[in-house]
Structure 1
Amino acid sequence: MKAHVSSILLGVRDMDRAKRFYAEGLGCEIDKDTRHFVSFRVGEGSLRLALYEWDAAAKDAGVSPEGSGFRGASFHLNPDSREAVDETMRKAVEAGGSVVRKAAPARWGGYFGYFADPDGYLWKVTTSAS
């Protein structure tokens, strides 16, 4: 069997805040919206981003809801220009996110920055455009 990622689920502390962040701040299109679960279409393909209440997501996985710090993962957005990187970072902050690493030129020739969503999930915004 070949692995095919169809959705990414994030446990969130405040569903309304997270939904606004992804829908209004990042422009993700809502696919399903219930009291405890929201999913978004991401990009042109079939990939979905899902939000589930933090404690419920931990219970579903059979793990403790306690935890903090780097979660060992980040998500990446790849716009076509430096201006689009800056615009995405700006919109994320306006929607309630925070800058983790200000966008700047990279040693490898690209341009990137990191922001955190309201629940602390890291998003890298990067372009190879000079």
Structure 2
Amino acid sequence: MKKLTMAPPMVVPDKALIASVIFTVPPAGSASVGTADNASLRQLQREIVKRLEHPVLLSVYPHRVGRRSCVAVHLSDVHEKTLDILITVTGNTLWPGEQEYRSGLRWNICVPDATDMLWVLKEIDRVTSEPGCE
């Protein structure tokens, strides 16, 4: 089995980060995320856990919408419940709102760049992996 291994990011005060990205990732150091974006990530993870039961199959489909790079994330559990998330590189950050979590057919997440896209994807993977698989 292959696994993308990335240590969980450190949570730091928002002022300690570059304002235009979600994750600060130095070349030879650990990734970090600000407290506000960390809260949004944790809410995303809680909403996923509310809807799906382990084991969860995580499927990722890279593509473009216009000129924007995206990954379509499709999650499905053993009870055939599904969840779709679109992560799009837009240059800014936008998390799903309460209304989108409640009634959206697909949750949309906008991220500043491809590095943030990979880290958000890893955080989705972290919550959908079987316990003990990290």
What TM-score, normalized to structure 1? 0.28
Mark the structure with the bigger radius of gyration: 1
What TM-score, normalized to structure 2? 0.28
Bigger helix share: 2
